[in-house]
Amino acid sequence: MEKLEIREYFKKLQDLYFEKFVKGEKDKENTFKKKDLVNILSPGRVNIIGEHTDYNLGLSINAAVNKYIFITGSKNNRNYVEVFSKYLNDSNRFPLKDINFNKDVDWINYIKGVLKEYIHHGNRIGGFNLVVDGNLPIGAGMSSSASLEVGVARFIEQIFNLKVDRKKVVQYCNRAENDFVGVNCGFMDQFAVTYGKKDYVIFLNFKDLSYEYIPFSLEDNLILIIDSKEERNLVNTEYNNRRKECNDAVQLIQKITKNKNIRSLSDVGLEMIDDLSNKVPEKLFKRAKHVVTENNRVLMSKEYLLKGDIEKLGQVLLESQHSLRYDYEVSTERLNYLVDEISKIKGVYGGRLMGAGFGGSIISIISKSCIDAITDLIGAKYYEKYKVKPDFIECLFSDGTKRIELKDT
**Residues 6 or more apart in contact with residue 344 via CB below 8 angstroms:** none
**C-beta separation of 227 from 401 below 8 A:** no
Maximal CA-CA distance, the chain: 77
DSSP class per residue in 322-356: HHHHHTS----HHHHHHHHHHTTSTTEEEEEEESS
Say how far apart CA 42 and CA 404 lie, in whole Å: 10
Q: Is 189 a catalytic residue?
A: yes
**C-beta separation of 50 from 58 below 8 A:** yes
Say how far apart CA 324 and CA 258 lie, in whole Å: 29
Q: Calculate the CA dihedral of residues 378, 347, 6, 68 and round it to 10 degrees.
A: 60
Say how far apart CA 218 and CA 212 lie, in whole Å: 18
Say how far apart CA 345 and CA 13 lie, in whole Å: 40
β-bridge pairing 80-85 and 128-134: parallel
**Which residues share a beta bridge with 91?**
84
**Residues 6 or more apart in contact with residue 333 via CB below 8 angstroms:** none
3-state secondary structure of 122: coil
Say how far apart CA 239 and CA 169 lie, in whole Å: 26
* Nearest by Cα to 94 from 66, 127, 61, 124: 127
End-to-end CA distance of the chain: 11
3-state secondary structure of 68: strand
Catalytic annotation, pick one of 54, 189, 267, 327? 189
**Residues 6 or more apart in contact with residue 31 via CB below 8 angstroms:** none
Q: Is 44 left (phi over 0), alpha (psi -120 to 50) or beta?
A: beta
Distance of CA 292 to the CA centre of its chain: 22
Cα-based distances in Å from 246 to 52, 291, 354: 10, 9, 19
**Catalytic residue set:** 189
